[in-house]
Structure formats: structure tokens, C-alpha cells
A = this chain, B = another copy of it.
Amino acid sequence: MPSEDTVRKLAEYVKRDHQLLSDLKMLVEQPSVSATGEGLEECANMVSDMLRREGFKVSQHRVDNGAPIILARMETVKPGRRILFYNHYDVQPPDPLSEWRTNPFQLSESDGMLYGRGIADDKGDIAARLAAVRAIRDRLGELPVSITWVIEGEEEVGSTHLESFVLKNAESLKADFCLWESGDISDDGRPNFYLGVKGMLYVELQIKTSEGDRHSMYAPILANPAEKMARLIASLKDERGRVRLKNFYRDVRRPKSSEMRLLRKIRVNMENLRRSLAAYELTARDGVEALEKLVLEPTCNIAGFSSGYQGPGIKTITPSTARVKMDIRLVPDQDPRKILSSLRRHVRGYGRFEIKVHSMCWPCRTSPDNPYVRLSTETGRAVYGAAPNIWLNMYGTGPMFIISRIGVPAAMLSCITHQGSRLHAPNENISLNHLWLAAVHQAAFLDSVSRVGSGPAS
């Protein structure tokens, strides 16, 4: 565990570090909307300049016509550990503009909260990591570990070119551990660290039974695509909600008892959960069951169902087409390709459905026994004054598997955001205090890593 003294000194440095807010202001004021392409080049250059200013060696890369991917490196003086950082400089579009109380592309402060597009996702984290590097060098006079930093510009549109880039540059990206973006602060002030993400298979099913909708007086002799789709959907789960695709659960990794113990330490307040979801019913009896389901269970979710007439009043047609969008979230060690094959086989029994695959993302989980994860528990406790919640994986999905492809374990330890951060929404915000703590925690983590030594981590 880092000493109280180290943490205090890091914190003192960070709070005096005017560069942190000045970087954040510049980043927020430079639009970089990957959905429209606005300002991506400019933002990539700005981030590269900031990295060079701190002493990183910086190069920019493109795969096909993708947004620039920034690759930066800084070496420790004495041979030691190498940490990989992952971030993205692109942001979501600011719409709807009318719902912003401030200019989304200006840094605004009010009562210790900072507002602006990208401040929580992911520009705050870039600025905090730059501050962490400054703080640790100020404290130790040198960088205690080598750092490789990948910052892409397409995360908000599906990290389209990241995998090619990572596989092509596997050698130079090799590292002992990866600090992924994200992490957050729970309502009771504890940091939430996440050791992985769920995977996802996102598909669209379509069935077409005629060219164009028909007068429903012909219903007695027409196949109804909405009905065929409903029968298919109904067949996907049993009465307890278990997915009935063949071998769906076969590859699900059983958590070890030590992992279950970590999970059980997390407190979920069902009443808060129900309120925040505004759900009339939850399919979990209590917080323990909710937590297990959210973290450990794969799902097969209908995201959209569309067929025939959906306007007001009466229209009597037999639809020609039915469409369903479905996100199937996967847990380790499920493979979206196997799940897709199983879905294809299952669907064949219900009609002539077309299956369009929109995306595939592999689940990913780093062992809590990983020495860097163990370290983070200690640094978390030292910096936040409370034991962090160690989540085996988020409920959500991200491209973390791309890093795991080259054998680098990853975790999310940044904790920039909180429940009300409004990621992707108007009035995106973080707390100035959380920003400082994120910088301090990442500096403390780098400091601790340097003390693991240069042999194989145990």
C-alpha cells in the first residue's frame, strides 16, 4: 500500500496543478464528434501536443480511413514494468442542444462540478492521466514505470479500426497491465473498479412474407410475419427466463469462490436501483440476486420490434415484414461466433429469417488474483479511504477484448464519473474532487507498480 505521506504529497501536487484544468478546458473546447467527423484531426493534434509537452514520444496512425490513433511512449530510466493506457479523444454529438444549461463545448464550473461534452467520457480521464504522470515525476523525480498510451478517436462509433491497429502493432503495445478508461464512484463514495466487460452480439432479424402490406381480409391465407417473429422470440427463453439457444450457457465461466466473495462485498440497494430504473418490476428478489445477475449472467434482450401499422387508430393490414433488434450480452468465456451459429440453427426451425450481424464484441475479465488488481485494491483504499468495490466485470460492453487479444490484462480504475454524470447526454459532468482523486489514484498506482519489481509479477 502507498504510504499516507505519498498519497498526501500526490494530492497536494494535483490540487495545485493548474495544467490539469487548463488541459481539460482546451480539450472540451475542441469539438471532436466521431459521429460527424467534426474536429477529430484537430483534437488528435492537440492531444499529441499535450503528450509531447510531457515528454512522450508520439506518433499518429490510421487504419484505412479511420480517425487518427495516437500512440505515445515514455520509458522509465531503469528497466521495469510497462503499463498500457487506453483512452479515446472522440465524444458523442452534443444534441439535443436545447437541454444543455451551459455551452457543451465550453468548460463550465459550478459548486465544485465541471460541465462539458466529453468531460466524463473521456477527456477528463486523459487530462487526469497527464496530471498523474506529472505528479509521479514530481514526487519521484523520474517515471517509475514505462508507459505506452493508445488514444483512439472512434470509440463512440464502435472502435471500428482499433482491432486492426492493435493486432498490427501487437509488439509495441505489449505491457504488463492495461489501465482501461472508466471506473466510477458509487453513491456511498467508494471507488468502483471493473476487471472486465461483457461481450455482445448485436443482430437484426427480419422476416418478409410478401411484397408490401396487404388488406387483412386476406389474413386467412397469408402468413403473418409479426406472428412468426413473436413465435421465434417466445421460443428463445424458458419460463424462468433462461435462454434456450443450444449450448448458450456451455462456455460460461464459473466464478471462483474468491471471486464470489469479492462480488458479495458489493452492496446493491434494491430500492435505489428500482427508483433509478423507474421499473415497475425487477426480476431479482434482492440486491444479492440483482448483483449476480447483472455481473455474471449473459442476456438475450429485445431492443426493438417493428412490424406493420403503428400509427394512431385503425388500419387493417397483414404486414409484409417484421424486424427485431436484439442485443445478446455475453460473459466470459462465451464466444459471439458460437452464439451466432447457435442462433442461426435455432431460427431455422421458425421460418425464413434473415440475420444481419451489426456487431460482435468478446467478453473480457481479468483475474482478481492478478497482482496489479491486488495492488489497485490497496491504492484504492489508500487514496479513497475506503475499500474499493471490485467488480468482476461491468454490466456493459466495450472493446477491452482487443487488448486482451495481445495478452495484456486490463482493468478500469479511473473513477472519473458518478451516477449523475450523464454520459452521452446533455449536461455531462464530473466532480472536481473526483477528477483530482482519479489523478492521485493513478499516480499512486504507478508508484506501487514500480515497487512490484522487474521480475515476473507474482
Contact = CB atoms under 8 A, between A and B. Distances in A.
Interface of A: 158, 198, 200, 202, 208-212, 214-224, 226-227, 229-231, 233-235, 237, 273, 277-284, 290, 293-294, 297, 299, 301-310, 313-319, 322-325, 327, 329, 358-359, 394-397
A308 B307 contact: no
Contacts of A281: 209, 223
Q: Specify how many copies of this chain sit in the oligomer.
A: 2
Given A216-B301, A308-B302, A284 B221 contact: yes
Contacts of A211: 278
B227 A158 contact: no
A375 to B, nearest CB: 27
Given A202-B316, A327-B316, A221 B282 contact: yes
25 contacts: A158-B314, A210-B277, A214-B277, A216-B329, A217-B294, A219-B301, A220-B283, A220-B284, A220-B297, A221-B282, A221-B284, A222-B279, A226-B233, A226-B324, A227-B233, A229-B230, A230-B234, A231-B233, A302-B308, A302-B319, A303-B316, A304-B319, A306-B307, A310-B325, A314-B325
A293 B221 contact: yes
Contacts of A237: 227
Contacts of A315: 303-304, 325
Nearest to A307: B305
Given A220-B297, A230-B305, A303-B316, A214 B310 contact: no
A283 B223 contact: yes
Given A220-B395, A224-B302, A293-B221, A313 B230 contact: no
Contacts of A306: 305-307, 310
A345 to B, nearest CB: 20
A323 B310 contact: yes
Contacts of A304: 226, 307-310, 315, 317, 319
A299 B220 contact: yes
Nearest to A214: B277
